DNA sequence: CTGAAAGCGCTTACAG
DNA sequence: CTGAAAGCGCTTACAG
């Protein structure tokens, strides 16, 4: 099989300049599309063509050293568990950032914190948290590492939170089915406590707006048998329907209910969140909330870009498409 | 709240040298522990202390530009789904690499391939595939981007595969329970086809060694109703026990069997793989294979390090601790 | 409007 | 054994 010969030496911008008889700066201006330069269209085309021909790739480290910017967006993830929909969001965000010349890199800090945080070695232009606000310690560490911007902005106390309308859909769905004694099941995992609390509070607000009593608070730890306790607590409180933090918690509740001889959905309705694969795997299949990941991903990318370039953030949170997917785990209250 | 004053300018090695009245090179030698230098212990301690005091952090981009090495290990993951145990492996590997001064970064190529691959912008010293061998196209692209080493080594045709003994444990477990008509259920997801095939073939070998007939091949797609077809096919082939590629596939089979009125485990035993959270969430809870992720993670780190530094790879694959966890989804054949 | 020059913070051969 | 110097491949003020 004949493959094109690959030279060992890397192709630099200087090679293009030399080969075209231009100055290196001119080549740089063309390749970076530097504004405020007047370079003839013909020259531009020649530069692009030659870069293509030689297989030129900018040297990231050199660019970072010279410009002081890495063009890296570091997304800090919860160490576990990673929501299914979140991963799709990130794929979309990554594509959008790539088009803008940035790389999205995900990072999950170690629970024990033994390792050097990745922002120290990567010095991203932007760090974006998917787990609520950065701690003061993290903020200090990032500043010391030269991270120029963080999302949410630590200097802005009332920065926008991401929209969390899923719990509202869950509660509305259950209310529409005639349930009035509702519970909200948290995940007990401390590592996602912020997001859990946010969803819980949105569920509480939604119930309030519908003039329903505040949801009974349940807590499920996926590692142990706490789902059984939660189901027992719910039933003894007269609860007929549970909105769960996510599909895994919902599945755990369904499993525990079945083991306890409580029929789902006949005696207890359970609605999940994310439309993760598990939602259609378990029996009965879970009613859940599906997220328009593409839209949210692009919104995240826009947030990161505005922070990187010091623009103001995108004016409006996009109308994220949330859909309640009705499956077999919810039924009208009888 | 008084926090220590943080200067805007970053601390360089030159600052340490200046403050200590040493040459920059000396400081560099101490900080890099360059071999073959004779620097007094006292000087070393002074350098370390001053670096600590000033909060010195090496500038990654500058180091990369000067040395031609980024000290980055890029782990290429399947785009979906990421095995639960794999993530734990990576955490361990990341810790081990961090101690050696390398950063582990994970990367999931986009299914559509629209974005620039991350190895182009990051130029890692090593790219490590968790999805079988790199394609020739990927290898070429990495070489062009200056990636110096790949694991598995594309030049070595018979490079070691990772140990995959889980399917052996599954088959042995089922055989010990008296099952002789066994099936192996693949995941139909094309993106993990290599790993699926590897596990399947290990299951086949294990059956052969036990003088059992070759496992009936099933295929499950998590998105649709193929699990029902698989169960039907298994039952009509006289299968009494199924070893599944992973816990999600196992859970899907269990769900489909229950929907079809087939009792699990009384009429059909199912054993999963990974001991993912789903294994103890579903009802009945899944018998499965648990992996000693710590050991495997350190092995991966050692593989990457040896590739990065041009050593020979670790001589022996560690005795990875695999345990069959017996839960409620398997029962002796009656 | 264009081009030559300095400089980013390191590493590393090389001369004393 | 130690230290001054060149250079990695870019970007960016600055002078023509």
Which residues on neighbouring strands pair with residue B75, listed in sequence order?
B106, B128
CB contact under 8 A, A144 and B6: yes
Chain B span 54-83 residues with beta carbon within 7 Å of strand C: 56-59, 62-63, 65-69
pLDDT of residue A25: 75
Distance CA A136, CA A210 (A): 38
Chain B touched by A301 (CB under 8 Å): no
Counted domains in chain B: 3
Helix (H, G, I), strand (E, B) or coil at B185: strand
Is the preceding omega at residue B54 within 30 degrees of 0, hence cis? no
Peptide bond just before B152 cis, omega within 30 deg: yes
- The residues, any chain, with a CB within 8 Å of residue A229's CB and separated by 6 or more, are none
Under 8 Å between Cβ of A162 and A297: no
Cis before B265 (ω within 30): yes
pLDDT band at A5 (very low <50, low <70, confident <90, very high): very low
Q: Residue B191: inside a domain, yes or no? A: yes
Q: Which residues fall within 8 angstroms of residue A190, CB to CB, at 6 or more apart?
A: none
Residues B221, B277: one domain?
yes
Per-range mean pLDDT, top range of A47-56, A215-224, A323-332: A323-332
> For residue A226, is pLDDT > 80?
yes
B76 strand-pairing partners: B107, B129
Q: Which residue has the higher pLDDT, A72 or A318?
A: A72
Structural domain including A127 reads: 72-161+295-309
User: What 3-state class would DSSP assign to A147?
Assistant: coil
Please tell me whether residues A109 and A126 are part of one structural domain: yes
Q: Are B35 and A173 in contact (CB under 8 A)?
A: no
**Beta pairing partners, B183:** B216, B242
A326: in domain: no
- What is the rounded radius of gyration, in angstroms, for the C-alpha atoms of chain B? 25
Same-domain check for residues A172 and A134: no
Note the CA–C1' distance, B123 to D1, in angstroms: 36
Residues 19-58 of A with CB under 7 A from strand D: 24-25, 28-29, 31-32, 34, 56, 58
- Structure token digits, residue B280: 């103890």
Question: For all residues of chain A together, what is the average pLDDT?
Answer: 87
Strands B322-325 and B288-291: antiparallel
Question: Does residue A170 share a domain with residue A285?
Answer: yes
- Name the nearest CA neighbour of B148 among B71, B202, B42, B49: B71
Question: Does B123 lie at the interface with A, CB-CB under 8 angstroms?
Answer: yes
Whether residue A21 has pLDDT greater than 90: no
**Beta-bridge partner residues of A242:** A183, A270
User: In CATH, what number is assigned to the domain containing residue A95?
Assistant: 3.40.50.2300
The answer, yes or no, to whether residue A1 has pLDDT greater than 70, is: no
Interatomic CA distance for residues A169 and A192, integer angstroms: 21
Q: Is A74 left (phi over 0), alpha (psi -120 to 50) or beta?
A: beta
Question: Does A237 map to a domain?
Answer: yes
Residue A241 is assigned to a structural domain of this protein: yes
Report how far Cα A119 is from the mean position of its chain's Cα atoms: 18
- Name which of A103, A159, A240, A100 is nearest B106 in CA terms: A103
B146 and B40 co-located in one domain:
no
Residues B285 and B171 grouped into a single domain: yes
Question: Could B280 and A121 be called an inter-chain contact, meaning their C-beta atoms sit closer than 8 Å?
Answer: no
Low-confidence ranges of chain B (pLDDT < 50): 1-7
The nearest alpha carbon in chain B to A3 belongs to B140
Q: Which of A52-66, A80-94, B254-268 is predicted most confidently?
A: B254-268
List all nucleotides in chain D with at least one atom under 7 A from a protein Cβ.
1-5, 7-13
Query: Is the Cβ–Cβ distance between B304 and B93 less than 8 Å?
Result: yes
Q: How far is the CA of A57 from the C1' of D13 (A)?
A: 25
Q: Note whether residue A203 is domain-resident.
A: yes
- The CA distance from A34 to A23, in Å, is 15
| One domain for residues A121 and A226 | no
- Angle between helical axes of A13-20 and A41-54 (0-180°, round to 10): 120
pLDDT recorded at residue B5 = 40
Helix (H, G, I), strand (E, B) or coil at A239: coil
Tell me the sheet residues that pair with A221: none
How far apart (Å, rounded) are the C-alpha atoms in residues B45 and A301?
45
- Is A282 part of any domain? yes
B199 close to B245: Cβ distance less than 8 angstroms: yes
Look at residue A96 in the predicted model and tell me its pLDDT.
92
For residue A38, the model assigns a pLDDT of 65
Considering the domain architecture, whether residues B149 and B170 belong to the same structural domain is answered as no
Whether residue A136 contacts residue B75, with contact meaning beta carbons closer than 8 Å, is answered with: no
Are B53 and B86 contained in the same domain? no
Residue B327 counted as domain residue: no
In a domain? residue B102: yes
Query: Cα(A222)–Cα(A1) distance, rounded to whole angstroms?
Result: 52
pLDDT at position A6 over 50: no
Q: Are B15 and B54 in contact (CB under 8 A)?
A: yes
Same domain, B42 and B149: no
Angle at A233 between CA A170 and CA A78, to 5 degrees: 55
| Banded pLDDT at A59 (limits 50, 70, 90) | very high
Burial class of residue B312 in the structure, from the number of CB atoms within 10 Å of its CB (0-12 exposed, 13-18 middle, 19+ buried): exposed
Cα–Cα distance, A80 to A75 (Å, whole number): 14
């Amino acid at each position: 099989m004949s493959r094109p010969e690959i030279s060992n030496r890397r192709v630099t911008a200087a090679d293009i300049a030399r080969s075209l008889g231009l100055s290196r700066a001119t080549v740089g201006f063309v390749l970076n599309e530097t504004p405020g330069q007047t370079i003839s269209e013909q020259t531009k085309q020649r530069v692009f063509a030659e870069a293509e021909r030689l297989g030129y790739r900018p040297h990231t480290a050199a660019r970072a050293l010279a410009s002081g910017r890495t063009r890296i967006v570091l997304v800090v993830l919860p160490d576990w568990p990673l929501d299914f929909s979140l991963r799709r969001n990130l794929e979309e965000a990554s594509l959008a950032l790539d088009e803008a010349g940035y790389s999205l890199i995900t990072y999950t800090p170690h629970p024990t914190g033994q390792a050097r945080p990745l922002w120290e070695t990567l010095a991203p232009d932007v760090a974006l948290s998917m787990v609520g606000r950065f701690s003061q310690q993290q903020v200090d560490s990032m500043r010391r590492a030269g991270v120029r911007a963080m999302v949410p902005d630590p200097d802005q106390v009332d920065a926008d939170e991401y929209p969390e309308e899923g719990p509202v859909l869950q509660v509305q769905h259950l209310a529409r089915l005639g349930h009035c004694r509702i519970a909200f099941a948290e995940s007990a995992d401390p590592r996602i406590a912020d997001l859990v609390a946010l969803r819980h509070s949105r569920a509480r607000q939604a119930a309030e707006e519908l003039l329903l009593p505040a949801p009974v608070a349940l807590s499920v730890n996926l590692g142990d048998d706490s789902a059984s306790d939660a189901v027992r607590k719910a039933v003894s409180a007269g609860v007929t329907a549970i909105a769960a933090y996510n599909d895994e918690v919902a599945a755990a509740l369904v499993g525990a209910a079945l083991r306890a001889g409580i029929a789902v959905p006949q005696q207890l309705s359970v609605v999940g969140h994310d439309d993760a694969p598990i939602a259609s795997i378990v029996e009965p299949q879970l009613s859940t909330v599906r997220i328009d990941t593409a839209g949210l991903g692009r919104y995240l990318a826009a947030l990161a870009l505005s922070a990187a370039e010091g623009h103001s953030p995108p004016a409006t949170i996009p109308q994220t498409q949330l859909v309640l997917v009705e499956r077999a785990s919810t039924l009208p209250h009888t």
